[in-house]
Amino acid sequence: MRNVDAETAAAYRKAWEEWQKQIEHVHRVFLEGESIRPDQLKGLLNREARKKAAYDAARERLLGLDASPLAAPPGGENPFKS
């Protein structure tokens, strides 16, 4: 298994916990019948989506999958950009 630096691991754990907090609220609303106003629902779903995106990015960094295949090599130009 790949060793991960402490900063990457901490960022992953934080992103996971923040996303779980939002998804738990989504579950309370949709599965347990917690009542919220439509504008609050929109905000809740937007927050959950942003936290999920942050978690996905942190997970990719943790797994070493965050490098874009179109990224320029160090000190070089990206041959795919015009």
Any domain includes 21: yes
Any domain includes 33: yes
Any domain includes 76: no
Q: Is 23 in contact with 31 (CB distance < 8 Å)? A: no
66/60 Cα distance (integer angstroms): 5
Cα separations in angstroms, 63 against 12, 30, 48: 10, 32, 22
Any domain includes 82: no
Any domain includes 70: no
What is the CATH classification number for the domain harbouring 33?
1.10.287
Any domain includes 71: no
Domain around 45: 6-63
Confidence label for 4 from pLDDT (cuts 50, 70 and 90): confident
Res 47 pLDDT > 50: yes
Q: What is the DSSP letter of 76?
A: S
pLDDT of residue 70: 55
